[in-house]
Amino acid sequence: MSVKKYSGHAGGWGALKSTATHLIKSENIAKNIKTLLKTNQDHGFDCPGCAWGEKDEPGRFRFCENGAKAVNWEATSRRIGETFFKENSVSFLRKQSGYFLEYQGRLSEPVIYNAKTDHYEPISWDDAFSTIAAQLNQLEDPNQAEFYTSGRASNEAAFLYQLFVRKYGTNNFPDCSNMCHEASGVALKQAIGIGKGTIKIDDFEKADAIFVFGQNPGTNHPRMLDSLSHSARRGANIVTFNTLKERGLERFANPQSPVEMLTGTATKITQQYFTPNLGGDMACVRGMVKILLERHKEALKTNQSVFNLAFIEKHTEGLTQYLNAVESTSWEHIIEQSGLSKNEISQAATIYQSANNVIVTWAMGITQHKHSVATIQEITNLQLLFGQIGKPGSGLCPVRGHSNVQGDRTMGINEKPDATFLKSLESVFSFTPPSNNGHNTVEAIEAMLSGKSKAFIALGGNFISATPDTPLTEQALSNCDLTVNIATKLNKTHLYPGKISILLPCLGRTDVDIQASGEQSVTVEDSFSMVHKSKGVVQSSTHDMRSEPAIIAGIANATLDKEPVDWLALVSNYDLIRDLIAQTLPDFYQMNERLEKAGGFYLGNSAAQHQWNTSSKKACLYTHSLPESIVPASIRALTNNRILVMQTLRSHDQYNTTVYGFEDRYRGISGERNIILINPEDMNDLGLKHESLVNVTSLWADNVERKIEGFKLVSYDIPKGNVAAYFPEANPLVPLASIGDLSSTPTSKSIAVVIEACEQSTRII
């Protein structure tokens, strides 16, 4: 391990150098340079990286360093198939790291697990489909099957998948959203009647202030830095709330700016950088509103107003109750929980107040806590008090993760389906879809653990590594009669087979997809509700891979025959799938025609048009109490040792559970992922040193020991009492039952832990 403070800016030559390194590593350099130039372009493919949108600016390249890693990782020339599986048993592969597994290359032919030999062996596509169908058809109840989705699936794949699963008879749709922006969806749907952000990408050009909460765009949404740096240069005030000083939010040199590249200069992004405690953001916003309310009351004395009274009167309800709660929240509580001083909170309030147009963005630092829904509704309240929703240059912007996670939800991947959507499915496809709530991710794990669910099918993703309580999830999948993974690359999830386990290799976003009518495109929806086409460009040897829609159609056809549609015929031309989407979802009218326009089409946003699809037809200011404390008294009572609050986060060299390399460049850490970032004073208090090896145990009142061993301490600039470790290495510490209120999202950003010295490294990779 090497730890060296990184003193440069984000982006710049470092980003270009890293892009080149990953090109070389793909062993497909020449092809991949061409491939990269097609990223996010019309007639090209949507970057399989994040869900950030594209500005309408022709002639620019539209990928970032980390998008390039995603492309190179997928468009590698390495393949694994029969020989690889013959040489490597499942037990052997289980002991390898996630990095090793994915590095072996693309899965290239269907395989089935043979428990006697402990090896995966080839199976034909037809046999794979009929084996899966036989298992699904022999379950007593369709609710005994779980259908997971990861957010890379295209709209076309997701629509077919949900149609198949609902006709089969269940709403068991655990998906990656449950671990990601679920709280944003729930909070916004309740408060403003739509579970999506309210802004368009152009709003960044009109904002006077941008508040960025709990998000690391320099690594996870690098193209967002392009928007932020433009805004900063035009004089917009950027305010960041992040427990860590993330370099991308401090200074950024745009690789597309010749001046910045040649002069070695960078743009200062954040004007005011606040480092609250983990989980302290609701307290920060509560404090801001408390100050603004005092100022508002003062202003009223001279017949002026801080808040937008006309907007509040016309569009909202719940004001009195909320303001009463704000008044009765003590400063002591706000300061203790936020970790910021009253003066700092007051500075943030002043910037907010003096800006006409304010955008608020957030990601996992906000959504993966117990009180995430409450925090997002607190942020929404602040925006509603100023009438900022639906105003140009203002609004709410939950920055989505996976490149089509928002689209998958729109297509109906939802364990709690919307009644209007079900009605529409019923009228288009003439069957009654199930209307009960299905399982989310945590419920699916519980059902497989108890034996209630017996089949697990995954459209992408890496369920075991992404979910909490890793050993329990391994057990849950191993309990199943059937596990099926539709995947591009081998990962841990594939190595905990049910009685029957099948891996189905699929094409990725970058691959050319040819069906009976010729080359196909798919569509995706970005964080700004723009739907556009994505067409693969890589024509490398795809061996026996099939497209996701073709695989879903194969399984559906074997399970349901031609009910309620002729699955195989639909896959011959994806326009036919889009016609069905257009019939089912009114916002997708004339979908095929409207996709012809460069940049695609906008789905619209009811809240941005001041149509509030809530039960009262108004935007609701929801009132929540601040949590008593981030670590509840019941957990504190479990130990006399010092408790620290841990977040699990991404390094610069990974995409969720996919590890591309071992350099967390902007944090200055390389060569090691089993680390704990800790404040030097906390380290001293524990009698430990930088690079001490430690064991970390999490606290939860259920007698299960959750421990990671042999991790290295890294002395770091992080608020006292808070620590950080990488996802997925630290996932065994997240208790399955520790979930967000109303969202059921695992609380991966606030885990109560105890750290102790570890004498000998007993390392788990």
Q: Report the interface residues with ligand MGD, using CB under 6 A.
A: 49-50, 66, 102, 150-152, 176, 179-180, 213-216, 219-221, 241-244, 246, 276, 278-279, 281, 363-365, 368, 401-402, 459-463, 466, 486-489, 491, 506, 508-509, 548, 647-650, 654-658, 727, 731, 734, 748-749
Q: Which among 246, 243, 182, 336 is positioned nearest to 647, based on CA atoms?
A: 243
Residue least distant from Mo ion (Cβ): 401
Residue 290 beta carbon to ligand MGD: minimum distance, rounded to whole angstroms: 18
Residues 658-697 vs Mo ion: string with x where CB under 5 A?
A: ----------------------------------------
219 contact, one of Mo ion, ligand MGD, none, CB 5-8 Å limit per kind: ligand MGD
Q: At 662, is the secondary structure helix, strand, or coil?
A: coil
129 contact, one of ligand MGD, Mo ion, none, CB 5-8 Å limit per kind: none
The H-or-E segment that residue 273 falls in is strand 272-274
Whether the CB-CB separation of 401 and 52 falls below 8 Å is answered with no
740 contact, one of Mo ion, ligand MGD, none, CB 5-8 Å limit per kind: none
SS3 content of the chain, % helix, strand, coil (to 5): 40, 20, 40
Pairing verdict, β 237-241 and 272-274 = parallel
* Distance from C-alpha of 667 to C-alpha of 599, rounded to nearest angstrom: 35
Q: At 660, is the secondary structure helix, strand, or coil?
A: coil
* Distance from C-alpha of 451 to C-alpha of 698, rounded to nearest angstrom: 26
357 contact, one of ligand MGD, Mo ion, none, CB 5-8 Å limit per kind: none
Residue 65 beta carbon to ligand MGD: minimum distance, rounded to whole angstroms: 9
Greatest distance between any 2 Cα atoms in the chain: 83
* Distance from C-alpha of 321 to C-alpha of 305, rounded to nearest angstrom: 19
Whether the CB-CB separation of 744 and 366 falls below 8 Å is answered with no
Residue 284 beta carbon to ligand MGD: minimum distance, rounded to whole angstroms: 8
Query: CA of 593: how far to CAs of 236, 525, 590, 683, in Å?
Result: 38, 16, 6, 61
745 contact, one of Mo ion, ligand MGD, none, CB 5-8 Å limit per kind: none
Radius of gyration over every alpha carbon of the chain, rounded to an integer in angstroms: 25
Cβ nearer to ligand MGD, comparing 219 with 406: 219
| The one among 98, 401, 417, 536 contacting Mo ion by CB under 5 A | 401
Cβ nearer to Mo ion, comparing 453 with 488: 488
Cβ nearer to ligand MGD, comparing 550 with 565: 550
Residue 654 beta carbon to Mo ion: minimum distance, rounded to whole angstroms: 12
DSSP-derived secondary structure for 702-743: TS---EEEEEEEEE-S--TTEEEEETTTTGGGS-TT-B-TTT
Residue 567 beta carbon to ligand MGD: minimum distance, rounded to whole angstroms: 18
Cβ nearer to ligand MGD, comparing 237 with 316: 237
Residue 549 beta carbon to ligand MGD: minimum distance, rounded to whole angstroms: 11
Cβ nearer to ligand MGD, comparing 79 with 152: 152
Cβ nearer to ligand MGD, comparing 106 with 296: 106
* Distance from C-alpha of 556 to C-alpha of 552, rounded to nearest angstrom: 6
191 contact, one of ligand MGD, Mo ion, none, CB 5-8 Å limit per kind: none
Whether the CB-CB separation of 488 and 74 falls below 8 Å is answered with yes
Residue 616 beta carbon to Mo ion: minimum distance, rounded to whole angstroms: 31
110 contact, one of Mo ion, ligand MGD, none, CB 5-8 Å limit per kind: none
Residue that is written with structure tokens 């709330």 in the block: 241
Whether the CB-CB separation of 624 and 377 falls below 8 Å is answered with yes
Binding segment toward Mo ion, per CB under 5 A, in 112-120, 202-210, 398-406, 537-545: 398-406
Residue 208 beta carbon to ligand MGD: minimum distance, rounded to whole angstroms: 21
Cβ nearer to ligand MGD, comparing 296 with 370: 370
Residue 708 beta carbon to ligand MGD: minimum distance, rounded to whole angstroms: 12
For 196, how many CA atoms within 13 A lie in the half-sphere containing its CB?
24
Binding segment toward Mo ion, per CB under 5 A, in 179-187, 229-237, 542-550, 630-638: 179-187
Binding segment toward Mo ion, per CB under 5 A, in 109-117, 252-260, 394-402, 553-561: 394-402
486 contact, one of Mo ion, ligand MGD, none, CB 5-8 Å limit per kind: ligand MGD
Cβ nearer to Mo ion, comparing 489 with 578: 489
Residue 155 beta carbon to Mo ion: minimum distance, rounded to whole angstroms: 18
51 binds Mo ion (CB under 5 A): no
Cβ nearer to Mo ion, comparing 287 with 401: 401
Residue 262 beta carbon to ligand MGD: minimum distance, rounded to whole angstroms: 26
Residue 107 beta carbon to ligand MGD: minimum distance, rounded to whole angstroms: 8
Residue 593 beta carbon to ligand MGD: minimum distance, rounded to whole angstroms: 27
- With both helix axes pointing from N to C terminus, report the angle between 281-301 and 372-385 in degrees, rounded to the nearest 10: 20
Cβ nearer to ligand MGD, comparing 559 with 648: 648
- Encoded tokens for 553: 């159609």
How does DSSP classify residue 642? P
Cβ nearer to ligand MGD, comparing 387 with 460: 460
Cβ nearer to ligand MGD, comparing 179 with 447: 179
How many other CB atoms sit within 10 Å of the CB of residue 710?
16
Q: At 447, is the secondary structure helix, strand, or coil?
A: helix
* Distance from C-alpha of 142 to C-alpha of 145, rounded to nearest angstrom: 6
47 contact, one of ligand MGD, Mo ion, none, CB 5-8 Å limit per kind: none
- Encoded tokens for 326: 């704000």
Burial class (CB in 10 A: 0-12, 13-18, 19+), 452: middle
Whether the CB-CB separation of 646 and 733 falls below 8 Å is answered with yes
278 contact, one of Mo ion, ligand MGD, none, CB 5-8 Å limit per kind: ligand MGD
Q: Which among 499, 385, 459 is positioned nearest to 164, based on CA atoms?
A: 459
Residue 465 beta carbon to ligand MGD: minimum distance, rounded to whole angstroms: 7
* Distance from C-alpha of 723 to C-alpha of 259, rounded to nearest angstrom: 38
Cβ nearer to ligand MGD, comparing 598 with 765: 765
Cβ nearer to Mo ion, comparing 180 with 591: 180
Pairing verdict, β 395-398 and 358-362 = parallel
Residues 474-493 vs Mo ion: string with x where CB under 5 A?
A: --------------------
Number of residues in contact with Mo ion under rule CB under 5 A: 2
Binding segment toward Mo ion, per CB under 5 A, in 77-85, 176-184, 205-213, 262-270: 176-184
Start-to-end CA distance of the chain, whole Å, equals: 15
Cβ nearer to ligand MGD, comparing 363 with 591: 363
- The edge-to-edge listing of strands for the beta sheet with 530-534 is 522-525, 530-534, 601-602
Degrees (nearest 5) of the Cα angle 646, 647, 648? 120
Cβ nearer to ligand MGD, comparing 368 with 698: 368
The H-or-E segment that residue 241 falls in is strand 237-241
Cβ nearer to ligand MGD, comparing 111 with 459: 459
149 contact, one of Mo ion, ligand MGD, none, CB 5-8 Å limit per kind: none
- Give residues with Cβ within 8 angstroms of 565, minimum separation 6: 163, 429, 580
- Encoded tokens for 410: 């729109």
For 29, how many CA atoms within 13 A lie in the half-sphere containing its CB?
6
How many other CB atoms sit within 10 Å of the CB of residue 689?
12
76 contact, one of ligand MGD, Mo ion, none, CB 5-8 Å limit per kind: none
| The one among 36, 139, 180, 490 contacting Mo ion by CB under 5 A | 180
Q: Is 518 left (phi over 0), alpha (psi -120 to 50) or beta?
A: left
150 contact, one of Mo ion, ligand MGD, none, CB 5-8 Å limit per kind: ligand MGD
Contact residues for Mo ion, defined by CB under 5 A: 180, 401
